[in-house]
Structure 1
C-alpha cells in the first residue's frame, strides 16, 4: 500500500503550509495550483487574490500590520511564471 503525499494547504490564520510550514502558497503548493488550474489562469488569479484578501483579514484580526507588497508578491507575484507563450 502506497502512502499518498500530504497536500500543501494553508493553515489559518497564520497562512503557513500545513505540510512544510513555509509561507503559503509554498513552492509545492504553487506547482499543485498551477497544475490544478492549468488552462484557467484567470480563475487561478482570482482564487489567489481572494486568498490574499483572507490572509490580510486574518493578519489584521491578529493585530498585525502586514506588508502589502510582500503579500502581493507571495500570493500573485509568481503567476507570470505559469503562463505559456502562445506564439
Structure 2
C-alpha cells in the first residue's frame, strides 16, 4: 500500500504534501494500470468528481489536467524539463545558398 494517498478535503498527498496525485503516485498508478488505461481514467475520474465538490473554487480545466490529463501523456513527457523548446524553422521560408 502506498503512503501517497489523498488527504481530504484539501487533496494534498499524504506522503509528500504535494497536490494529489503527486508524481510518485502517478508513477505507481501507471504501473498498477499498465494494461488498463481506460480503467485508470475511470478511477481518476471518480476522484476528479470528488475533488470538484471539495474545491469548487478550482478551475475545471486545472482539475482535469491534474487528475486525468496526465494519463494520456507518455511517461517520458512527464519527466521532461519545463524549459522552453526553440521554435521549428519556418517551412515557407526559402533556403538561400550561402
- Pick the TM interval, shorter chain: 0.7 to 0.9
- Give the Å deviation of 1:25: 0.5
- Give the Å deviation of 1:81: 2.3
- Relative CO higher for 1 or 2, CA cutoff 8 Å, sep ≥ 6? 1
Deviations, residues 12-64 of structure 1 (Å, cap 9, x unaligned)? 0000000101000000000000111110111100001110100011124xxxx
Which residue of 40, 43, 59 corresponds with 2:39?
43
Q: TM-score, normalised by structure 2?
A: 0.70
Cα distance in structure 2, aligned partners of 1:30 and 1:59:
21
Q: Unaligned stretches of 5+ in structure 1?
A: none
Moved more, 72-81 or 22-31: 72-81
- Alignment correspondent of 1:70: 62
Q: TM-score, normalised by structure 1?
A: 0.78
- Alignment correspondent of 2:55: 59
Dislocated runs of 4+, deviation >2 Å: none
- Give the Å deviation of 1:7: 2.2
Larger of the two Rg values belongs to structure? 2
